[in-house]
Structure 1
Amino acid sequence: MGLSNFFNSLFGKAKEKAEVAKENLTEVAENVAEKAAHKLEELKVNEKVSEIIDVAKEKTAEAAGWVEEKAHDLKESLQNVAETVEDKVEDLTGNKEEEKPAK
C-alpha cells in the first residue's frame, strides 16, 4: 500500500466523521430549536426571541457546513502531501512503480 492510499484511507475516515458530526450537530440544533420554539409558544414569549432562535439555528447550520468544507479541504491537502512524500521516497529509493519489472 502506498503512502497516498494510507493517507486517503486515514483522512477519508476523518471526512466521514466530520460529515457525521455535521449531521448530528444539525439534528441537535433542529431539535433544540423546535423544543425552544414550543416552550416559547407555551410561555407566550414575544416574536423577537423566536427570531433569535431562528438565527441561532441558521448559524449552527452554517457552522456545520464550514466543518464539512474544512474537512474536505484538509483531505485534499493531505492527499497532495502524501503524493509528494511518496514521489520523494520513490526518488530517493529508486523504486518507482514504472521502473519495476513485470512479473
Structure 2
Amino acid sequence: KEAQKEDSEIWTIVENLNKQVEFCLDDYICLVEFAYNNSWHASIKCAPFEMLYGRKCRAPICWDQVRERVIEGPEMIEVTNAKVAVAKEKLKEARTRQKSYADKHRRALEFQT
C-alpha cells in the first residue's frame, strides 16, 4: 500500500508539471519559432529567414538600423523564387552528402532463422 501511495503522489506531481509546461509553452512558442527561423541551419548554410529575405532578421534590439526598401511587386516574386531555388539546391547537396556518408558506412545484415 505504501508503494501505491508513493506512485500516486508521483503521478500527481507529474500531471501538475505537465499542466504548467503546457501553460508556459503557449507563452513562449512565438519565441521558439523566432529562434528557429533565425538560427543557422547546416543544410542551407544560413538561417531560414536570411535565406528567404536575403538579410538577417531585425530583432527589436537592432530596429534602429532600418534601410530603404528597394524591392516591390513582381520583382519581389522573382527574387523570392530565386532564393527558393537556391535553398532547394543547397538542400539537395546536403541530402547527397548525407546519402554518401550513409552509403559508406552501410553494411549487409545477415539474420539466422
Normalising TM by the smaller chain, what interval?
A: 0.3 to 0.5
- With the length of structure 1 as denominator, give the TM-score of the two structures: 0.40
Higher helix share: 1
Per chain length, whose mean CA-contact separation is higher, i.e. which structure has more relative contact order (CA < 8 Å, sep 6+)? 1
